[in-house]
């Protein structure tokens, strides 16, 4: 097995629903097949739709999930679906590049520039270490590495936070952060990550009353609720949640 990055647009060109399925052509069957049963990271490209004139996508990793199976698309020849489980959005999007660091080693050329050929591939296999770093950066708020209510630090500082204080090795992940790989399946961790994602999406505002509830310590008092309960198969996605007082 091998972990992978799956690219999907805000308005997908293919029949993607990230918390349930990923639609792809035969050209990527080997790469997706290598990740069957393993964890993946979702990436949003610069173009948010199939319109080549559109820009504005975040160019960032935004969620993790697990590929449980791959099936043929019954209605479109040479196309397949990767069936998805355990979807969990990051508490903040992680840019593919921060300062001089690329989270995917294959995206960086020897001269330090971006490898556009590799970057253009919609599915890219990555190592466990690369996945770990993206995960730790994406869940920095849940891990207590960064306060969601504080202004974001400058890009160099943001890239460093959570990976130790040695400036010579700014992206080395420590043994404590590595535990999140095993925690992603555990309900307490998922509940915290889901809560942060929902509060951020709703800007700490109750979906019913329209009240923004912040306590005396500057913390949000709204609660994150699943629309379709987890017990009934509801995913931990922003689409399946709302903030309530």
Buried b (16+ CB within 10 A) or exposed e, 48-73: beeeeeeeebbbbbbbbbbbeebeeb
pLDDT tens digit sequence for 169-224: 344 544 445 567 778 888 899 999 999 999 989 999 999 999 998 888 888 889 99
N-term to C-term CA, the chain: 43
Mean pLDDT calculated for residue range 148-166:
40
The answer to whether 182 touches 139, Cβ cutoff 8 Å, is no
Rg over CA atoms, the chain: 18
Residue, of 100 and 55, whose pLDDT is higher: 100
Beta bridge partners of 108: 114
- Residues 6 or more apart in contact with residue 69 via CB below 8 angstroms: 36, 82, 83
pLDDT tier at 145 (50, 70, 90 boundaries)? low
All domains of the chain in start order, with CATH: 3-185 (3.10.590.10), 187-245 (no CATH)
Task: Provide the pLDDT for residue 178.
Answer: 56
pLDDT tens digit sequence for 99-136: 888 999 999 999 989 999 999 999 999 999 999 999 99
d(CA 33, CA 72): 12
Task: Quickly count: other Cβ atoms within 10 Å of residue 108's Cβ.
Answer: 18
């Amino acid at each position: 097995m091998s972990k992978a990055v799956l690219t999907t647009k805000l308005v997908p060109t293919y029949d993607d629903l990230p918390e349930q399925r990923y639609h792809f052509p035969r050209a990527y069957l080997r790469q997706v097949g290598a990740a069957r049963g393993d964890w993946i990271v979702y990436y949003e490209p610069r173009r948010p739709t199939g319109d080549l004139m559109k820009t504005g996508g975040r160019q960032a990793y935004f969620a993790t999930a697990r590929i449980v199976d791959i099936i043929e698309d019954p209605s479109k020849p040479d196309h397949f679906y990767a069936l998805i489980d355990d979807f969990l959005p990051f508490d903040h999007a992680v840019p593919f590049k921060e300062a001089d660091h690329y989270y995917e080693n294959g995206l960086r050329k020897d001269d330090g520039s971006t490898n556009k050929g590799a970057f253009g591939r919609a599915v890219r296999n990555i190592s466990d270490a690369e996945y770990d770093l993206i995960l730790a950066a994406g869940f920095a708020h849940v891990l207590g590495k960064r306060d969601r209510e504080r202004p974001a630090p400058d890009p160099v500082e943001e890239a460093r936070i959570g990976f130790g204080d040695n400036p010579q090795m700014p992206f080395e992940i420590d043994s404590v952060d590595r535990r999140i790989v095993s925690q992603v399946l555990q309900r307490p961790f998922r509940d915290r990550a889901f809560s942060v994602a929902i509060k951020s999406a709703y800007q700490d505002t109750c979906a019913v009353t329209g009240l923004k509830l912040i306590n005396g310590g500057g913390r949000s008092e709204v609660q994150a609720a699943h629309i379709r309960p987890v017990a009934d198969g509801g995913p931990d996605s922003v689409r399946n949640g709302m903030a309530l007082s």
